[in-house]
């Protein structure tokens, strides 16, 4: 008699439901475990994504080009000329989606009452728009073009300076000769950012207007470059670096902001550790359930062996039973995860702990990111480790001595 | 009673392997909880201490709107005198007055907008660790001398070394133009980018002169021997400030702020971290409870005949339910004891060697934590997790125990 695979599968399925209460409890446990794995993964991924997005917006760009000494000494002295033809050609080629040259200098901004140290950004609005680095919400208007002589400041800064739309402020910085360069300007727009720190730090001015004030001709402080996928920056930034030549420093965001890079790098690791830990807590119950199932059927297994069923098939049958259990649990857990995460994808309000999250570069809302990667990872963890754990009881079942097994009460 | 306990104990070992597996689930969960909670509590305390020690202190007296708006004219009148009074009243030396102003600082080659702190040079080292982190030169001397200590990155950006001069342009308390020149005497290197690129301290006397502050400051900072003393000290200082409110309009505007108000991000970072930790713990505990539920349900179901006989002999179902409860309690107790023991050993070992993981260094730099973490063993961290697991296990036994009340003796005795 040859027991076909189909018969084996059918047998295992029926065995599973002989004690439906026990099976259901175990299923529930697996489902809760799988749900927790995916749910936690989605929260962590949502957090990392948000941190990286915020970080890249603030930088901005996935790659930045500076004068070789600028990052050590962020002064107007270390400006660079606009991109040379070779670099320009490389910046126009895919996968580069957009780039913008900006003037970025430390400055002091003063209203009639208060003053603050800020980072003054001279931007070309059209290029920044393409880069996706413009502030999202602006009250009043943003700068029209590079010649715009107005200023756009953050809402938090406006509060601290006790100034507002249409009011005049003075900006002070230094020109290359270290003479104080200053100019009065009107606040034409007030922007809001996800992080208050950003609002306080960055002030936008027209690029040409700022270059004129600082007397640096068409010099730039940094060129920000963006492409479609920040994860793949290593593939293309070396070409830009080669084209930029000796005097310039070309760095990807992973080098510009190591905190972000490391968060992204350890995220998958953390998810995996969490999943394995949850599974381990689960595995005791799984092994116990299977061991019980085998124990109840010692006589039956003995009989099957006496009738000529090979140990390998008994092992296989127990494993298939465990496989069903795991698959059903996975199905339920994934379903539960999808159902619980989808309604939350519009964002969870975490403004109650906003200042704490801001320390990590997070905004007021956490967007859980349901990802196929987490679902696949949890499936692999549960199935592989689950079958491994089931080997123990299955092995014991297969090694039963038929005569003794038949004689147990 | 002792007979029932003995019976429960024996029943447990009718299925050795099953019992051990269930106990192992609890022990695993307990070890994990002991370790994680110890780590958590240890790192929170360290995070709070390290952050507050840098500059903020445990409590500050400020103008009531200064924290939110940080305007020059929101001052504390007679700041140094108030600091002296608090030192006397609180009986500690670690109280100091400060003034703060934004100014454009220019060296010969560079200009930067910075936040300048006027400090009581004699007392500042008691409330902040920064004066102790000098890399070059010396800390400020007394009084109205035109000297400044700055952060290492700022010094690099301004291209100055001890002995060089810095010029300041800003506005005074009354909105007037303020300007001054000070000599760099020391450079501080803390390793925290935020501090090294922004810190600039001058003597309070000179600060008050340059920024037309009179005897005003912006904050009186106190550092206490431990976190637990903060609430009492806050109440004490608030009581001291009370009479000031009556004497003049300006004095009435002062408030005492504790560290949670001064650094709201700190408490919230801890809260959000706790939330995700709770989630993990809850999942673990629920999974272990399921495991116990399954075991106890099995052990009840397989004894249906036995229980039927006992019921027929006149035993009340409540007594049987108690028996199942006792079995669970014994099992949970075993899990608790082993879990606490092994968890304590592991944690104690790690509290000596410390642990670190990839990404830890970057995380630590952001949250003012050292690069190795040392879990902290305490009764709370040792017992909290295991006791909750124990409770979860007992709750899980309720369903199997309740089934006993539905048992009909005759039908039960016939069950297979």
Contact yes or no for A57/A133 (Cβ under 8 A): yes
In eight-state DSSP terms, residue B120 is -
> Can you say whether the dihedral through the CA atoms of B12, B13, B14, B20 is positive or negative?
positive
Please provide the DSSP assignment of B294-335 as one string.
HHHHHHHHTTHHHHHHHHHTT--HHHHHHHHHHHHHHHHHHH
Model confidence at A361, pLDDT cuts 50, 70, 90, reads low
Contact yes or no for A166/A102 (Cβ under 8 A): no
pLDDT score, position A357: 66
Q: What is the mean pLDDT of chain B?
A: 86
Residues 77-96, chain A, touching B (beta carbon < 8 A): 77
Q: Give pLDDT tens digits for A202-223.
A: 999 999 999 999 888 888 999 9
User: Closest Cα of chain B to A88: distance in Å?
Assistant: 30
CA A215 to chain centre: 41
Query: Is B353 a residue whose pLDDT tops 80?
Result: yes
pLDDT score, position B181: 92
Is B69 in contact with A284 (Cβ distance < 8 A)?
no
Instruction: Decide if B21 touches A, using CB distance below 8 A.
Output: yes
Measured between alpha carbons, how far is B342 from B316 in angstroms, rounded to an integer? 39
Q: Cis ω on the peptide bond leading into residue B145 (within 30° of 0)?
A: no
- Determine how many CB atoms are found less than 10 A away from the CB of residue A13: 12
Q: Give pLDDT tens digits for B119-151.
A: 998 898 888 888 888 888 888 887 788 899 999
Instruction: Tell me the H-state helices in A59-163.
Output: 85-91, 125-131, 155-161
Model confidence at B369, pLDDT cuts 50, 70, 90, reads low
Contact yes or no for B386/B28 (Cβ under 8 A): no
Model confidence at B268, pLDDT cuts 50, 70, 90, reads confident
Question: Helix and strand tally (H, E) in chain B?
Answer: 17, 10
Model confidence at B336, pLDDT cuts 50, 70, 90, reads very high
Q: Give pLDDT tens digits for A135-188.
A: 877 888 888 888 888 999 999 899 888 888 889 999 988 888 878 888 999 999
Instruction: Decide if A365 touches B, using CB distance below 8 A.
Output: no
Written as six digits, the tokens of B301 are 């179901």
Q: What is the pTM for the complete model shown?
A: 0.79
Q: Which helix (H) or strand (E) holds A251?
A: strand A248-252
Model confidence at A233, pLDDT cuts 50, 70, 90, reads confident
Stretch B186-195: mean pLDDT: 84
Is B268 in contact with A115 (Cβ distance < 8 A)?
no
- Using an 8 Å CB-CB cutoff, list chain A residues near B108: 178
pLDDT score, position A1: 47
Q: Is A1 exposed, middle or buried (0-12, 13-18, 19+ CB in 10 A)?
A: exposed
Written as six digits, the tokens of B269 are 């970072």
Residue B204, C-beta contacts closer than 8 angstroms, at least 6 positions apart: B79, B80, B97, B98, B99, B118, B119, B120, B121, B217
Residue B250, C-beta contacts closer than 8 angstroms, at least 6 positions apart: B75, B77
pLDDT score, position B287: 92
Instruction: Decide if A69 touches B, using CB distance below 8 A.
Output: no
Query: Is A330 a residue whose pLDDT tops 90?
Result: yes
- Using an 8 Å CB-CB cutoff, list chain B residues near A341: none
pLDDT score, position A114: 82
pLDDT score, position B246: 38
Q: Taking chain B, what is the end-to-end CA distance rounded to the nearest angstrom?
A: 30
Measured between alpha carbons, how far is B263 from B320 in angstroms, rounded to an integer? 56
pLDDT score, position B28: 93
Instruction: Tell me the H-state helices in B52-118.
Output: 66-69, 79-90
Written as six digits, the tokens of B274 are 């706790």
Q: Give pLDDT tens digits for A396-405.
A: 888 888 888 8
Residue A73, C-beta contacts closer than 8 angstroms, at least 6 positions apart: B110, B156, B157, B159
Is B171 in contact with A115 (Cβ distance < 8 A)?
yes
pLDDT score, position A386: 92
Nearest residue in B to A75, CA atom: B110
Model confidence at B365, pLDDT cuts 50, 70, 90, reads low
Contact yes or no for A206/A145 (Cβ under 8 A): yes
The question of ipTM being above 0.90 is answered as no
- Residue A227 sits at φ, ψ, to 5 deg, of -130, -170
- Using an 8 Å CB-CB cutoff, list chain B residues near A285: 25, 287, 290-291, 294
Query: Is B217 a residue whose pLDDT tops 60?
Result: yes
- Residue A298 sits at φ, ψ, to 5 deg, of -55, -45
Q: Which helix (H) or strand (E) holds A377?
A: helix A372-398
Higher per-residue pLDDT: B352 or B372: B352
Query: Is B415 a residue whose pLDDT tops 80?
Result: no
Query: Is A329 a residue whose pLDDT tops 50?
Result: yes
Supply the Cα-derived Rg of chain B in whole angstroms: 32
Query: Is A298 a residue whose pLDDT tops 70?
Result: yes
Instruction: Decide if A291 touches B, using CB distance below 8 A.
Output: yes
Measured between alpha carbons, how far is B222 from B96 in angstroms, rounded to an integer? 7
Smallest Cβ–Cβ distance between A355 and the set B264, B279, B280 belongs to B264
Measured between alpha carbons, how far is B375 from B353 in angstroms, rounded to an integer? 10
Is A116 in contact with B284 (Cβ distance < 8 A)?
no
Q: Is B146 exposed, middle or buried (0-12, 13-18, 19+ CB in 10 A)?
A: middle
Query: Is B398 a residue whose pLDDT tops 70?
Result: yes
HSE, CB side, 13 Å, CA atoms: give it for residue B99. 31
Is A262 in contact with B272 (Cβ distance < 8 A)?
no
Q: Is B406 exposed, middle or buried (0-12, 13-18, 19+ CB in 10 A)?
A: exposed
Stretch A10-37: mean pLDDT: 88
Is A115 in contact with B24 (Cβ distance < 8 A)?
no
Written as six digits, the tokens of B242 are 């009370």
Name the nearest CA neighbour of A223 among A203, A202, A244, A194.
Answer: A244
- Using an 8 Å CB-CB cutoff, list chain A residues near B295: 288
Model confidence at B293, pLDDT cuts 50, 70, 90, reads very high
For A132-168, b where at least 16 C-beta lie within 10 A, e where not — what string? ebbbeebeeebbeebebbbbbbbbbbbbbbebeeeee
Measured between alpha carbons, how far is A120 from A149 in angstroms, rounded to an integer? 13
pLDDT > 70 in chain A, percent: 96
Name the nearest CA neighbour of B11 among B329, B376, B410.
Answer: B329
Stretch B81-100: mean pLDDT: 90
Is A178 in contact with B110 (Cβ distance < 8 A)?
yes
Contact yes or no for A303/A406 (Cβ under 8 A): yes
HSE, CB side, 13 Å, CA atoms: give it for residue A19. 18
Query: Is A12 a residue whose pLDDT tops 90?
Result: no
Instruction: Decide if B395 touches A, using CB distance below 8 A.
Output: no
Residue B97, C-beta contacts closer than 8 angstroms, at least 6 positions apart: B76, B79, B80, B82, B83, B119, B120, B123, B204, B217, B219, B220, B221
Query: Is B1 a residue whose pLDDT tops 70?
Result: no
Query: Is A238 a residue whose pLDDT tops 80?
Result: yes
Stretch B287-301: mean pLDDT: 90
CA B368 to chain centre: 12
Entry field: residues in chain A: 409
Written as six digits, the tokens of B347 are 């944690």
- 3-state secondary structure at position A66: strand
Nearest residue in A to B27, CA atom: A281
- Using an 8 Å CB-CB cutoff, list chain A residues near B22: 284, 288
Model confidence at B107, pLDDT cuts 50, 70, 90, reads confident
With helix as H, strand as E and coil as C, how does B122-180 read?
Answer: CCHHHHCCHHHHEEEECCCCCCCCCEEEEEHHHHHHHCCCCCCEEEEEEECCCCCEEEE
Is B102 in contact with A116 (Cβ distance < 8 A)?
yes
Is A114 in contact with B25 (Cβ distance < 8 A)?
no
Instruction: Decide if A336 touches B, using CB distance below 8 A.
Output: no
User: Closest Cα of chain A to B311: distance in Å?
Assistant: 23
pLDDT score, position B248: 45
Query: Is B251 a residue whose pLDDT tops 60?
Result: no
Stretch B254-270: mean pLDDT: 85
Query: Is B245 a residue whose pLDDT tops 60?
Result: no
Stretch A84-106: mean pLDDT: 86
Query: Is B407 a residue whose pLDDT tops 90?
Result: no
Best probe of the B interface among A353, A364, A368, A390, by most B CBs < 10 A, is A353
Question: Which has the minimum average pLDDT: A23-27, B71-75, B345-349?
Answer: B71-75
HSE, CB side, 13 Å, CA atoms: give it for residue B90. 29
Entry field: residues in chain B: 416
User: Closest Cα of chain A to B359: distance in Å?
Assistant: 5
Stretch A327-345: mean pLDDT: 90
Query: Is A331 a residue whose pLDDT tops 90?
Result: yes
Smallest Cβ–Cβ distance between B271 and the set A28, A43, A356 belongs to A356
* B39 φ/ψ sector (left φ>0, alpha ψ -120 to 50, else beta): alpha
């Amino acid at each position: 008699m040859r027991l076909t695979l189909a018969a084996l599968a059918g047998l295992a399925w029926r065995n599973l439901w002989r004690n439906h209460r026990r099976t259901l409890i175990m299923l529930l446990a697996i489902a809760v475990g799988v749900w927790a794995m995916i749910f936690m993964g989605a929260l962590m991924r949502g957090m990392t994504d948000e941190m990286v997005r915020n970080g890249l917006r603030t930088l901005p760009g996935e790659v930045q080009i500076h004068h070789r000494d600028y990052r050590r000494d962020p002064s107007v002295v270390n400006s660079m000329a606009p991109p040379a033809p070779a670099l320009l050609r490389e910046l126009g080629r895919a996968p580069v989606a957009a780039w913008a040259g900006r003037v970025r200098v430390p400055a002091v901004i003063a209203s009639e009452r208060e003053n603050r140290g800020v980072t003054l950004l001279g931007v070309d609005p059209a290029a920044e728009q393409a880069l996706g680095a413009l502030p999202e919400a602006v009250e009043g208007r943003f700068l029209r073009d590079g010649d715009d002589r107005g200023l756009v400041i953050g809402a938090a800064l406006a509060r601290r300076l006790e100034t507002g739309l249409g009011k005049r402020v003075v900006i002070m910085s230094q020109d290359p000769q270290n003479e104080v360069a200053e100019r009065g300007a009107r606040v034409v727009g007030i922007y809001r950012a996800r992080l208050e720190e950003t609002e306080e730090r960055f002030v936008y001015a027209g690029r040409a207007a700022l270059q004129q004030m600082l007397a640096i001709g068409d010099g730039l402080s940094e060129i920000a470059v963006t492409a479609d996928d920040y994860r793949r920056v290593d593939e293309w930034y070396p070409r830009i670096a080669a084209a930029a030549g000796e005097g310039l420093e070309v760095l990807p965001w992973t080098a510009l902001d190591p905190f972000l890079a490391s968060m992204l790098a350890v995220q998958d690791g953390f998810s995996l550790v969490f999943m394995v830990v949850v599974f381990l807590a689960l595995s005791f119950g799984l092994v116990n359930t299977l061991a019980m199932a085998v124990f109840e059927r010692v006589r039956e297994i003995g009989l099957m062996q006496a009738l000529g069923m090979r140990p390998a098939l008994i092992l296989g049958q127990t494993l298939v039973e465990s496989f069903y259990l795991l698959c059903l649990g996975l199905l339920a857990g994934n379903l539960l995860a999808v159902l619980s995460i989808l309604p939350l994808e519009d964002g969870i309000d975490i403004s109650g702990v906003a200042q704490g999250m801001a320390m990590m570069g997070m905004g007021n809302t956490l967007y859980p990111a349901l990802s196929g990667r987490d679902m696949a990872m949890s499936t692999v963890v549960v199935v592989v480790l689950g079958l491994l754990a089931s080997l123990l009881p299955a092995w014991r079942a297969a090694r039963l001595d038929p005569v003794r097994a038949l004689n147990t009460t | 009673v002792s007979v029932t306990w003995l019976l429960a104990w024996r029943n447990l070992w009718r299925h050795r392997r099953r019992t051990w597996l269930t106990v192992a689930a609890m022990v695993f969960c307990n070890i994990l909880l002991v370790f994680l909670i110890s780590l958590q509590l240890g790192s929170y305390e360290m995070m709070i201490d390290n952050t507050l020690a840098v500059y903020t202190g445990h409590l500050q007296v400020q103008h009531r709107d200064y924290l939110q708006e940080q305007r020059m004219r929101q001052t504390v009148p007679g700041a140094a005198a108030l600091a002296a009074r608090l030192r006397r009243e609180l009986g500690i030396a670690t109280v100091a007055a400060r003034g703060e102003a934004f100014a454009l600082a220019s060296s010969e080659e560079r200009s930067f907008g910075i936040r300048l702190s006027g400090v009581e040079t004699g007392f500042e080292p008691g409330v902040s660790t920064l004066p102790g982190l000098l890399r070059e030169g010396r800390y400020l001397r007394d009084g109205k001398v035109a000297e400044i200590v700055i952060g290492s990155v700022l010094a690099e950006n301004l291209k100055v070394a001890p002995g060089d001069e810095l010029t300041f342009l800003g506005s005074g308390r009354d909105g007037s133009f303020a300007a001054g020149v000070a000599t760099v005497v020391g450079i501080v290197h803390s390793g925290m980018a935020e501090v090294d690129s922004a810190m600039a301290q001058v003597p309070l006397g000179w600060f008050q002169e340059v920024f037309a502050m009179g005897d005003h400051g912006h904050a009186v900072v106190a550092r206490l021997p431990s976190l637990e003393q903060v609430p009492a000290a806050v109440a004490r200082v608030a009581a001291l400030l009370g009479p000031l409110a009556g004497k003049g309009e300006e004095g009435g505007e002062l408030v005492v702020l504790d560290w949670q108000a001064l650094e709201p991000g700190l408490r919230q970072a801890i809260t959000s971290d706790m939330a995700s930790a709770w989630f993990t713990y809850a999942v673990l505990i629920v999974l272990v409870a399921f495991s116990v539920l399954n075991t106890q349900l099995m052990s009840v179901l397989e004894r249906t005949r036995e229980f039927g006989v006992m019921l027929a002999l006149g035993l009340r179902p409540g007594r049987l339910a108690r028996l199942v409860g006792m079995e669970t309690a014994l099992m949970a107790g075993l899990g608790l004891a082993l879990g606490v023991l092994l968890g304590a050993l592991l944690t104690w070992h790690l509290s000596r060697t410390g642990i670190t993981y990839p990404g830890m260094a970057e995380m630590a730099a952001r949250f003012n934590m050292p690069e190795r973490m040392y879990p902290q063993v305490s009764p709370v961290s040792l017992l909290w997790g295991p006791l909750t697991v124990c409770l979860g296990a007992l709750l899980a036994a309720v369903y199997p125990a309740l089934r006993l009340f539905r048992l009909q003796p005759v039908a039960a005795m016939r069950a297979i």
